[in-house]
Amino acid sequence: MEYVCLDLEGVLIPEIWSEVAKFTGEDKFNLTTQDIKDYSELMDMRIGLVEAMDISISDIQAVVHKIEPFEGAREFMDWARDNFQVTIVSDSFYQLAWPLIRKLGTPSIICHHLKIEEDKLKGYSLRQKENKKRVVQALKALKYRVFAAGDSYNDIQMLTEADLGVFFQAPEHIKNEFPKINCVENYVELKKVFSNASEFVALS
């Protein structure tokens, strides 16, 4: 049996913090894991900006509620869940991601937690170190073959640990840095890659 692990932001939905950038006018919120390899550095910058600009969690959640999944994302999720076991493995946070998970049909998600006090962002708590890699390792230990898709630096460990890992609409600089990882540009291509890999296993 195959198990599919999908990144959330950049694969199924727009980048949440880029939408916060539009709301606040602060361009630094546009920086993502496609730009900064160190996730802690990225999150520390975001938290610092939120504090300096006195942005509340309610403000951010209001932005999130207006976000819609990419065109075709819900249909892709329905197809994936009809053909595989599926989990979204994300470096987002439950307090931000959950409204968007509902819009995707409420698939399972493994991600992190924000630390919030009186509607203010005070920090974050990781599910575990190297979460994406360890989720794939755990599934493989349960005798699943794991297919994975992501678009950023923080997905590399998940993609290389999986039995099949592919970039989904990754930027050119990341694709050039990791040329051994195959790339797809849309959900039709991603369906084909996953289906072909599954059929090959069935026939072997």
CATH number at residue 181: 3.40.50.1000
Average pLDDT, the chain: 95
pLDDT given for residue 199 in this prediction = 67
Give pLDDT, residue 124.
94
In a domain, 165, yes or no: yes
9 is known as an active-site residue: yes
Q: Which is nearest to 47 in space by CA: 29, 21, 34?
A: 29
Tell if the pTM clears 0.75, that is, is over it. Answer: yes
Q: What is the pLDDT of residue 198?
A: 84
Positive or negative torsion for Cα 102, 4, 155, 43: positive
Count up the domains in the chain and report the number: 1
In a domain, 156, yes or no: yes
In whole angstroms, what is the distance from residue 61 CA to residue 110 CA? 19
CA–centroid distance for 131 within its chain: 12
In sequence order, which residues have a C-beta less than 8 Å from that of residue 179 and are 6 or more positions away? none
pLDDT score of 200 more than 90: no
Catalytic residue among 2, 7, 151, 155: 7
Residue 78 placed within a domain: yes
User: Per the domain annotation, does 87 fall within a domain?
Assistant: yes
Query: What is the mean pLDDT of the segment spanning 178-189?
Result: 97
**What are 182's two structure tokens?**
């195959």
> Could you tell me if residue 26 is inside a domain?
no
pLDDT digits (tens, 9 = 90+) for 27-68: 999 999 999 999 999 999 999 999 999 999 999 999 999 999
Dump the DSSP string for the chain: -EEEEE-SBTTTB--HHHHHHHHH--GGGG--TTT-S-HHHHHHHHHHHHHHTT--HHHHHHHHHH--PPTTHHHHHHHHHHHSEEEEEEEEEHHHHHHHHHHTT--EEEEEEEEEETTEEEEEE-SSTTHHHHHHHHHHHTT-EEEEEE-SGGGHHHHHHSSEEEEES--HHHHHH-TTSEEE-SHHHHHHHHHHHHHHHHH-
Which residue would you say has higher pLDDT here, 203 or 146?
Answer: 146
The confidence score (pLDDT) of residue 203 equals 42
CA 25 – CA 59 distance, rounded (Å): 14
The CA distances from residue 98 to 67, 110, 162, in Å, are 12, 11, 25
Residues spanned by the domain of 6:
2-12+71-110+128-203
The rounded percent of the chain whose pLDDT value lies above 70 is: 97
User: 7 an active-site residue?
Assistant: yes
CA distance 101 to 103: 5
| Residue with the larger pLDDT of the pair 86 and 204 | 86
- Is 24 contained in some domain? no
